Chains A and B, each alone.
Chain A
Amino acid sequence: MEPSGLEAIGAAAIDLFQGGRDLYSVFVRTLYYTLRGKREPGAIVGQMYEVGNKSVFFVTVVMGFIGLIGIYQSGTQAKRIIPDYTLLGASYLQLLIRELAASVGAMIIATRVGAGIAAEIGSMVVTEQVDALRMCAADPIDFLIKPRFIASIVMTTVLIIWIVTVMFLAGAVTAWSFFDVPFRTFFNFSMVKTGDLVIGFAKCIAYGAAIPVVSGYCGLSTFGGSEGVGWATTRAVVNSSLAVVILDLMISTAGFFIFFSR
């Protein structure tokens, strides 16, 4: 029998609560193993290569084009209102560091890295490899998620610094090509404050931590066969992106009150 409207809402709320509780449990256990567990440098380096090196080309192309389009649109709008480009580079760099590079970059990273993590762990679940790990006294959180967690925090930070560079350079070339803004004018760091750097760095760490935890949780909660793996992958990308947006809101709000409210 199909549940009634109220029952369906109740069931969805219970599912959401249980999912949130399980995700929190995965996060706490990942932190526990990261701080207390045995270090396996080989596994971490391997994952750093997967998360970082293999994403470089993808994020460079995507974020380079976003940087190009972003500065072209900003310049076009500015031309209509105040045709003065002296602060175009400075305000663009502040926006990149505080918000754009980390948040949009993390969503792009989530599509590649998050999907990969969920698909790999999900396949291991449906082929009973995760059960076999548990039989070997290897906690799947320790064995599968911890190396990805550490690697992702380090390499997401590195990638986002790279993304800032790529987007700023793409913006500089666009500003020079379309609006005749000299590089010397565009390369203006005067608007970047310590608060911007702290907020940007906090976002790198938070997003780097969230993507493997959310994706790993989606992978571990896979059920069924190949269809289940497909669902887990989709959920990983959607939920990781959602986590990035929520963390963005929280960190930006906290940053505003700490650094910019006075």
Chain B
Amino acid sequence: MNTLSGSLAGGLLAAGLAGAAMAAEIPRTPEGRPDFSGTYNVATLTPLQRPEMFGDNLVLAPEEAARIAEEEAARLAEDLERDDPNRGAPPKGGDGSTGAAGNVGGYNAFWIERGDGAFQINGEFRTSIITDPANGRFPTMTAAAMKGLMERRRFYRENTGEAWWLEAGGVGPYDDPELRPLGERCLLGFGSTAGPPMLPVLYNNTKRIIQNPDTVVILVEMNHDARIVRMNAEHAPPDQRFWLGDSIGYWEGDTLVVDTTNFRNETAMYNATRDLHVVERFRYGEDGQLIYSFTVEDPNVWTEPWSGEYPWPRTDDRMFEYACHEGNYALGGILRGARILEQETMDAKPDAGSD
């Protein structure tokens, strides 16, 4: 792998040299349409929302990009060093560290694949995937959506090994499987990996496009989700609802436009509702990359539409089966664990009350 500054210079050079010839050189189908067939790994260190420190700057300075890449590399190296295969089991109750899997170990560097740098478009690094609003962040939420978000936030508590929800009263976060996130239930991949919009996530970022004149399929690694885009078709009737929405496609010149509606109440896109409407665009950029861009609107959630874009780099790797549900010991374990914590908390109550 190049150093980041090296690859930046290379990117600029390639973009400069390619210039006007590029438009004629994009892969095309026998029918003359741009051919997006291929396998892509969309991992990137560029976040969806722009860190506030960058303000309205869409472009990330090369030094900042280098720093971000170096920090990730250092973190992974440290993680790998710590993960000596001959190490012993973590101490009972965990080692006190925080993270997605709690403090008994879990997602270490072996699993995580967020890419090794920020992405570039036409040789420029970006600070965020979101391009509109100008600050690169979600637009203002509606009052109703904000209220719902606050209610869900009640559940966002660090695992302290106590059944805190008993004291809080009301519905607890682990009461039923239906209250767990769709990713945990293996109903959809987490983080809108299949979307739409399809966003980069912590790992398993492979996408595969298989295209013919009538249908474009976008196969999403997690969880083996095939988005079937019916070309030049009409949307399904409004009472037909789909986990990934109903996607229809058409061409605008050399851009493939995919329009998706007919979502269920549960959507991959965090916070969105059944009224979500996503328009995605696939095109070859001037630098020869597949550029994936999208506009999201949901009047129940956001007061205005928002848009983003990022490149899909090709990979020579093949996609492997992500069989989620078949190995989902976690969901049962989460529920059982909560029941044990509740029992322990209730058993401890008489003592607490006797003082």
Q: Is B a genuine binding partner of A?
A: no
By a beta-carbon cutoff of 8 Å, the part of chain A in contact with chain B is none
B residues contacting A by CB (< 8 A) are none
